[in-house]
Structure 1
Amino acid sequence: MADKFIKIQALYGLLELEPYILLGCLIVIAWIFYKFFLKEVSEERHKSIRNHFRVLLRHFVILSFLFVIFIFMQTSEAQLGRFVRFTPYIAILAFIWGNVVFVKTSRLIVLQYLFLGSMKHGVPLLLVNIFSLMLSIVLLFWGLSHIFTLELGPLLATSAAASVILGLALQDTLGNLFAGISLQVDRNFEIGDWLEITSGIQKATGQVKEMTWRSVTLVGFSDEIITFPNRFMANAQISNFSPGDHPILRRQIFRLAYGANIELAKQLLEQTVAGIGEIRGIPTPWAYVSDSNENWVEVKILYFIDNYGSQFSIGDKVYVRGIAALRASGIELARQVIQLSDTTVSHGST
């Protein structure tokens, strides 16, 4: 009965030893790629990749088991008797499982390749999932046309009409999908970057946590979860504060009492800020007089940091240590002075 639905000779031709060995070699190549090119990924990424390999190994063991059973049944048809009719079905299971192993291995290789560009924070799975989906669809249609007695012409014509209807119903979803692909291709930001998102009066700041087919998820300064649809992100103004080769400039203001030793104050602030570990030594911190009036002289200290998310804790250290250094040298901060004038008018008697 299987002859009516399955092209048995074509199926058996695919289940030979050479494709099985090539699939095993592809897994070995993926492992070699991991061992030699991804040594510097974070421990979390190591755990993720190893878990992928464990899952892949389990599927390959199942494939090997089905392959051995198929070879045994094919070479022992005379001894199996009526059980020989199950051979095509075992072959189909082996063929399907082989496709699963091939897709998972290819997916793992693509995932590892993307890891090369982001070893610290990891990579979004959007492109990997799209690649896996497209490869699965190609293998599905290829299998239907070569293994099963199905005509794909009418099926494709019907699916084209259904695709138009489905596309109209899923405009927002598809819009987010293609916007997400565009964001991934442009690579203006990646997981772990600190972003400031501005669109009209809306503004949000956070660190990129995840990028999916539908949205981008940020974690704010107070650990709040902020989710933006991909279409919104594609049309918003995005400021990235995590470029690798460009430190982030920050500044703090100290108001000193009028008449204080300004040169000494600038030297103290520069030396104190340079001693904070989170602040870059190059470019060096720089203090200068930015404003003055009859009550105070305003000194501004500029410094550079690498982690945008730590700017508030670093700023706190700059203030605390800067004030302590100034006071230890006898330089006091300015105090607000409010002068009141007597506006009482004396009227003489008439």
Structure 2
Amino acid sequence: MNIIVTGGAGFIGSAVVRHIIDNTEDNVLNIDKLTYAGNLDSLTGYSEHPRYQFAQIDVCDKTSLQCIFDNFKPDVVMHLAAESHVDRSISGPAEFINTNIIGTFTLLEVSREYLEKTSVPHFRFHHVSTDEVFGDLDGTSALFTEQTPYAPSSPYSASKASSDHLVRAWGRTYNLPVVITNCSNNYGPFHFPEKLIPLMILNAIAGKQLPIYGDGQQIRDWLFVEDHARALLMVAKQGKLNESYNIGGYNEMTNLEVVYSICEILNELVQTKPAGITDFKQLIHFITDRPGHDKRYAIDASKITQELGWKPSETFSTGLRKTIEWYLENQWWWTKVVDGSYKISNETIA
């Protein structure tokens, strides 16, 4: 198959690209705008692979997308390109509206027009979304299912909810063959250091404070990114059309528990600690909670397990240890992110 992956230089997108190249005979075209979170270093070793191509394109650029579709002739589009950081959406929502809503609309239109003029059997448009569209499970023991009503709380989650609705509408109105997935919090190698787990790892080994919002009792379900990549490709190829699938790791943890776990593993693995530190938990620092912070997310992933046979291979403890070990062993990657030099690498490679 010819598979387009939008946002393929991002955290989850690059994991999908690596998974496809390593485990299939499919051809991959990575479309990425290379915003601050896009990092081609995450695909080092893949750039020269004969089944991999890259195009630096904004998903809002319809003309460029049309050229890509006409030349590459995709069988599957896996749409992961998105602005995804909640804090950034609160301080600057415009980019989230543009990329997540207008970009998805543009990609849907290009896909629809492509199918109208090209005979592509079994074409799929796979839209990758988030559990944050469902809102907050505070005060309940319930899990998000595919039937949970949408109740987004932040500009980010509202923009993703909007894009989900657009995909469903294009499926129903124009008979575009679509599938949607909603995932829980991802973690793993190559994660941009603004997110909780990589931020805590890198702050700790640098001897910086570990900032935790509020009391740290917000609960998230954690999913190892390579488990997610495997699930995404499975849904893209085998999922039922016009259906959605929730993908979760069955690892509910409070943010404080996550940080404690990181500190405990680092205490074991890092022999030379920052000056004055005997236990990385000493660096924990509670800060004012962010506006509209949802208390609990938790995914029921039984549908994808029952219908497609997927289940996570990593527990939180095994996945977290692998993640921390990766950051300790791959300083070359994250130092370039921290000092901004990865942007120069992007420009050179692109």
- TM-score scaled by length of structure 1: 0.22
Which has the higher Rg, Structure 1 or Structure 2?
1
Question: Bigger relative contact order, structure 1 or 2, given CA contacts below 8 A and separation 6+?
Answer: 2
Where is the helix percentage greater, Structure 1 or Structure 2?
Answer: 1
Question: TM-score, normalization: structure 2?
Answer: 0.22
